[in-house]
Homo-oligomer: A and B are copies of this chain.
Amino acid sequence: MDTTHEERPHRKARLWGGIDLGGTKIEAVVVDAAGKVLGRSRQPTPEDGAPGDVVQAMYGALEEAARVAGTLSRHLVGVGVGAPGAVDAGAGTLARVSNVGKGWMEPYPMAGDLADLVRSRVVLGNDVQVAVAAEFRLGAGRPYGSVLGVWWGTGVGGGIVLNGNPWRGRGAAGEVGHMVVKPGGARCGCGRRGCMEAYAGRASLERKARKAVRRGEKTHLFDWMQKRGRTRLTSSVWMRALEEKDVLATRLIDRAVRMLGAGVASAINLLDVDAVILGGGLGTRLGPVYADRIHEAMRPHIFVPERQPPVLVAELGELSGAIGAALLAEPAMK
């Protein structure tokens, strides 16, 4: 009896787990009711692994984060997962995953599988939506009631918070990157034409840069890439190229900023939220200077010109996804 009583405060510590499932890494955190990170852990995403392997790796990362926080994953009140692809939160399934493990198209029961291992409640959410929710509660969005998050990275994702609540629509709301900024325009990674992401996403920018090089255009982008031992034009490669005033990089990023300005302004004219939060690899790397440039590019399109919403850079950095996932498991967490 006494032992049981001794254990209770520990089991009742009310901690939550959050997992950010990415294409290259799995980030796990354990947070308290204030969203404070008490433990974290990072694991590589299993390359060419089946969904079951991915779930095992997520469990491993979470157990480790829990250990750092002085607990066990089964004592967590709940666990949230932010994942790329098509999330069905009600069913707890994840489908149409292209760059995690082997990738899979059919809905996989990720929440149930992970819950069996963790022995706690598991909730799934969209990776960008949960990161935006974290910025809203604990980061750049704190002063506001309603925000639009624009996650500028490989693609351009987004998330919406309205009057304090995430707006998910039928599950896929916030796809700001697939707003059309030029009907019949550039081909997008999604297969459509003229999406904002086709001009601003890092994958599209790289495609355009490689095409320009094949056409004989000069750039140091790929030299800096190789110097860093990378095979892709990372955000830091772009950053370097812009600092060095590389002509091609500057032209491509200028166009990206112009199209982000048009697309994000369109979103503001529709939603009229209080602020825009700029996140993602490129967004956070390029930082406030580019947030201001996007703001300037939005200005000519904003319908109520005296109420320009601020464009702020995300503050939580690489943990925003994992923290946001934990918030998902306890929506009342402040």
Contact = CB atoms under 8 A, between A and B. Distances in A.
A294 to B, nearest CB: 13
A276 interface: no
Contacts of A183: 181-182, 258-259, 261-262, 301
Nearest to A306: B86
Interface residues of A, number: 45
Nearest to A196: B266
A180 B262 contact: yes
A299 to B, nearest CB: 10
B194 A262 contact: yes
Contact of A171 (B158, B173, B194, B272): B272
B180 A266 contact: yes
A267 B265 contact: no
A40 interface: no
A175 B263 contact: no
B301 A180 contact: yes
A162 to B, nearest CB: 6
A183 B301 CA distance: 9
A118 to B, nearest CB: 30
A71 interface: no
Contacts of A162: 162, 167
Contact of A170 (B174, B176, B272): B272
A225 interface: no
Given A173-B270, A173-B271, A181-B181, 18 more contacts: A86-B304, A146-B169, A162-B167, A169-B271, A170-B272, A170-B273, A172-B272, A173-B272, A174-B270, A175-B272, A180-B181, A180-B263, A180-B266, A183-B262, A190-B303, A192-B300, A193-B300, A271-B271
Interface of A: 86, 146, 158, 160, 162, 167-176, 178-183, 190, 192-195, 258-259, 261-263, 265-267, 269-274, 300-301, 303-304, 307
22 contacts: A158-B270, A169-B272, A171-B272, A172-B307, A173-B271, A173-B272, A178-B303, A179-B266, A180-B181, A180-B262, A180-B265, A182-B182, A183-B259, A183-B261, A190-B303, A192-B300, A192-B303, A193-B300, A194-B262, A194-B301, A263-B266, A271-B271
